[in-house]
Amino acid sequence: MGALGTLVQCTAQQRMSELEAEASYKPEPLPAEMISQPPAPRPNAPLVAVLVSGTATEITDLLAAYAVLAAAGTLNVYTVAPHREAVTVWPYLEILPHFDFAQFEAAFPDGPDAIVVPYFVDYQAPALVNWLRDRTRPETFVLSVCEGARTVAAAGLLNQKSATSHFAALDELAEKFPHTRWQSDVRTVIDGRLISTAGVSAAADGALLLLSQLSGPAARLRVSNLLGFEGAVLNDSGAASNAGNYRSPALGFDEMIAFGWRAGSLPLQPMAILLSDGIPELQLAAALDVFNRSLVIRGTAVGHERRIFRSRYGLDLIPRTDTAQLDPGVTVLDPGVEWRGVSGYDSYRLALDLVARTATPDVAAFVARIIEYPWQPPAPVSD
């Protein structure tokens, strides 16, 4: 490979290690005056618990599923964690869950009608696995998002079921949980009241399916149009649901090496993603997820002050730092302003387009495959 090649690969590996280490970041405790009250519940609306880890939860898995369900206005959608404290949403964001387990059970003793399970770094944590198992009744819907399937399977809820997950995890999951019928080449699988999704961006597909089950096809269609998922999804019945002729991506060792070479040969550009009250969840998730996975843009959630910002549909967001602490020259992106008018799902295209311009289209295409998002490089601008 030569000295230059070794240096480039080491640079890419160092950036990947830093990104992985972000999952173990422990947020600072919040002062009591910053703790906000959860949104008031709608009377007689189905209740959805979105499970959040006390360690780290994948951002698109969480925010995309939450946004789709909360946007309908027909459900009570709350984030629930072992403790009500600032928790890491990977990468480079923090949230304050609406409830801890005890608070949720006191507020809603009849339990949730549906539970959403994103991917957690500590996916086998007993507190998460046991709560999920104990709160899932025969009539409860469970949405397994991406590698959230690891937690759902660990709870025993996928035994003798058909399911899917992120394409890169399917072989390992099949070996570890052989009593589940793992499926590839699908974005969603429905088996009874269990819905599972493929990787990352497919969180929205699964959430739309769950919304249809809880509030009907009309609500699903309305949210699909509102957030820009037209044509992305679905039918509502059958053991497997697929958007078009979907084929799971495949990434070989040579492709991963090539990605590391391209990303590692480019300078790392810091970018501050500005939080504001009312910021759309999908735009925030697109910026932080896509930029950081590229290994050429280090996106971090910031605010003009360190306080809780409430997102468009009621998530309590916490910046990692405030703008006064930024180094001079750091680019600041305000998705709520600069991407205003862009549908939520299309925000991922904008983020990938920016990676293509900052790095190369090949780097953006690699990220698009990892998050299972249908992206094409923008056409070159003619003179």
Per-residue model confidence as pLDDT tens digits over 328-344: 989 999 998 899 888 88
Band (pLDDT 50/70/90 cuts) for residue 251 is confident
Domain at 32-241, CATH class: alpha beta
Nearest by Cα to 47 from 92, 119, 107, 126 = 107
> For residue range 263-306, what is the model confidence (pLDDT) as tens digits?
999 999 999 999 999 999 999 999 999 999 999 999 999 999 98
31 has a pLDDT exceeding 70: yes
- Helices and strands (H, E) in the chain, number of each type: 13, 19
- Domain(s) labelled CATH 3.40.50.880 in the chain stretch across 32-241
Sign, CA torsion 123/65/94/313? negative
3 has a pLDDT exceeding 50: no
The helix or strand, by DSSP H or E, that contains position 115, with its residue range, turns out to be strand 114-117
> For residue range 101-158, what is the model confidence (pLDDT) as tens digits?
999 999 999 999 999 999 999 999 999 999 999 999 999 999 999 999 999 999 999 9
Confidence (pLDDT) at 336: 85
Pairing of strands 269-274, 331-333: parallel
Peptide bond into 91 cis (omega under 30): yes
**Dist. CA 367–CA 147, nearest whole Å:** 17
Confidence (pLDDT) at 6: 52
